[in-house]
Structure 1
Amino acid sequence: MTLRQAIMDRWTTVHRFCRLHPQLNRSTVYQVVRGSYGGDMARQEKRIWDVLNGTDEEALVFEVIKGDACAHCNAPQPCTRCDHTFRIAARAATRFFSG
């Protein structure tokens, strides 16, 4: 099964998949699906497959950071105000610990 087929089977459009997974850059996903990505194609394909399979380490780290931070916050829940900062922290932590 190709990456495009896997995305289409579960989300019907690449656009919907990208909208529901903001940790992935939309233009990168489209380029990888088309086969025209100019960077490390294997690395990006792995990231997308990890998200599809629910094994995306960055997303898991994001959830841990968000859960802990939100538990100590007085803002009404659920809140997405700090998600951008949490995603940056999750990306940095994942890169640091993955070598």
Structure 2
Amino acid sequence: MKRYTLGICGGVSVENPTEKDIREAVFALDSREGDAFLILDQLDDRTFLQASGDRDVGFELAHQDSTSQQFRAKRDFSAGEIVRKFTSFSQGNPDWKNGMEWEFLGKAEMA
């Protein structure tokens, strides 16, 4: 079984988050309060899904694949869409990346 960690605004993290954990985290984000982002790490292969924003302004979505290539979606998302994409990713379902164009950002520097 794959292991996941949901990081909330660079602080609190939830191990193997449920859909309820993800929904609560997404709807609690408020960019007027400072940093508003979530990172869902798949710990075994160094992939992640990241969202920033809040339900009032919309969300940006980015991801890193297992080869450390990073991408950003070319459109914004609603809170409900982010919940669905994060839940799909956390369940190992590849459908989370379908239905949008991705912009290549580069390869992450490995320390």
Interval containing the TM-score (normalised by the shorter chain): 0.3 to 0.5
TM-score, scaled to structure 1: 0.32
TM-score, scaled to structure 2: 0.29
* Higher Rg of the two aligned structures: 1
The structure richer in helix per residue is 1
